[in-house]
C-alpha cells in the first residue's frame, strides 16, 4: 500500500520508488510532481552544462540551493547540478 505524502506530492507511488532508489526527498518530489506529459521528455531548450559559463552555472546552483558553489570550479558545478 502506498503512503499518502500529502498534497505537496502529486504522485505518491513514483515518489516512493524514487526514494527507494536513494534519491533525496527534494529531487524525488520534483520528479514526482512533474506533469506526466513532461516526464518522458529528455533535455530542454538549454545547451548542455559544458557550454555554460561558470558564472551561469553558479547562478543556477544558487537558484536550487547548492551550498559551497562559490568555491567550486566549472566541473564541480556541473557535477553538483546534475546530482542534486
pLDDT at 42: 62
Mean pLDDT of 78-84: 92
Every domain of the chain and the residues it spans: 8-41, 49-82
The answer to whether the predicted template modeling score (pTM) of the entire model surpasses 0.85 is no
Crossing angle of the two packed helices 54-64 and 74-82, in degrees rounded to 10: 30
pLDDT at 49: 93
For the chain, the average pLDDT equals: 85
Please give the grid coordinates belonging to residue 80: 553538483
In angstroms and rounded to an integer, the radius of gyration of the C-alpha atoms of the chain is 15
CA–CA distance, 56 with 40 (Å, rounded to integer): 26
Residue 39: per-residue pLDDT: 53
Q: Hey, what's the cell of 36?
A: 506526466
Which residues, 6+ apart, have CB-to-CB distance to 82 below 8 Å? Answer: 49
Amino acid at each position: 500500500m502506498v503512503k499518502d505524502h500529502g498534497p505537496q506530492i502529486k504522485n505518491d507511488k513514483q515518489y516512493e520508488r524514487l526514494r527507494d532508489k536513494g534519491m533525496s526527498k527534494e529531487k524525488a518530489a520534483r520528479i514526482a510532481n512533474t506533469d506526466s506529459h513532461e516526464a518522458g521528455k529528455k533535455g530542454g531548450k538549454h545547451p548542455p552544462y559544458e557550454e555554460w559559463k561558470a558564472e551561469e552555472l553558479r547562478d543556477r546552483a544558487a537558484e536550487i540551493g547548492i551550498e559551497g558553489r562559490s568555491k567550486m570550479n566549472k566541473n564541480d558545478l556541473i557535477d553538483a547540478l546534475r546530482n542534486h
